[in-house]
Amino acid sequence: MKKTITCFLLIASLCVATAGAQNLADNEYQKTGREYEQQAKVAMDSGDYAKAAELADLAAEQYRKSREAAEAQALKFRAANAINLAQQTITDIGNNGPVAKAHARELTTAKGLLADARALFAAESWIESRDKALQSLDALKGIKGVAVPPTEGSSGGVSITLPRYYTVVSRPVNTDCFWNIAKMAAIYDDPLLWPNLWNANKDKMRDPENPNLIYPGMVLEIPPIGNEKREGTFDPEKTYPALEQ
């Protein structure tokens, strides 16, 4: 009886682990774990409790490996996202001649940190790689995407009205991304200000660390960058006043 109770507890514990494993990537370890679990249940139903306990232990070990593999993949993905964002930021600034010249020192620092991040990524040091990539981004903070201080417009200081929200759409060419949206005249009329949109809408994104992952139907909030007033949703048929910067 004691052995029976012990085995039941083992199986119950295993089922809890299985339920949690369903949220992980369906990797080879999870698949093997499910196979061991089924074998354990068969052994238990046949009364071979020792065999059931042995198989339950094997299943638990495979589920542990599955969780570790899934966690490693998540860390790798986050590191890759940070590296891609740092590279995109460096490229954007580098393509703007005057800005690149004015911030040559920051660009050199950022590129060095990014190189370190790539080396750590190749060594599978995901956490350290992501940290270096984020340091690369920090080195460039304030160069692009910084809100412009309020300025007096041509209307004697009276703010203009521009859309506060923008609904993402999909197009065959020039499809929506933060860069393309930011360069629209009614938004910022400056693609380099795309991080304003990204930072203001991270809570709506499926992966807040990847600015490329916006999707059709997503409603973005457009934070002001000056003394302009923002209200309503962007209407492609409407003509908006020029944004004073």
Characterize the bridge pairing of strands 219-221 and 161-162: unpaired
What pLDDT shows up at residue 26?
63
Identity of the amino acid at 32: T
Out of 3.30.70.260, 3.10.350.10, 3.30.750.210, 3.40.1260.10, select the CATH number for domain 161-230. 3.10.350.10
Task: Write the DSSP symbol of residue 161.
Answer: E
Q: What is the largest CA-CA distance in the chain?
A: 89
Q: What is the DSSP string of 75-133?
A: HHHHHHHHHHHHHHHHHHHHTSHHHHHHTHHHHHHHHHHHHHHHHHHHTT-HHHHHHHH
Higher pLDDT, 204 or 110: 110
What pLDDT shows up at residue 159?
59
Q: Cα–chain-centroid distance for residue 195?
A: 14
Over residues 206-221, the pLDDT tens digits come to 788 888 888 888 899 9
Over residues 143-193, the pLDDT tens digits come to 754 333 333 333 344 458 899 999 999 888 778 899 999 999 899 988 888
Assess contact for 155 and 229: CB atoms under 8 A. Answer: no
Q: Return mean pLDDT, the chain.
A: 79
Domain ranges of the chain: 1-144, 161-230
Over residues 107-154, the pLDDT tens digits come to 999 999 999 999 999 999 989 999 999 899 888 887 754 333 333 333
Rounded-to-integer distance, Cα 130 and Cα 195, Å: 19
| Confidence band, pLDDT 50/70/90 cuts, at residue 5 | very low
Q: What are 110-119's contacts with CB under 8 Å, separation 24+? A: 110/86, 110/136, 110/137, 110/139, 110/140, 111/136, 113/86, 113/139, 114/83, 114/86, 114/87, 114/90, 117/79, 117/82, 117/83, 117/86, 118/83
What pLDDT shows up at residue 163?
92
Give the mean model confidence (pLDDT) for residues 217-235. 88
| Confidence band, pLDDT 50/70/90 cuts, at residue 245 | low
Rounded-to-integer distance, Cα 40 and Cα 145, Å: 57
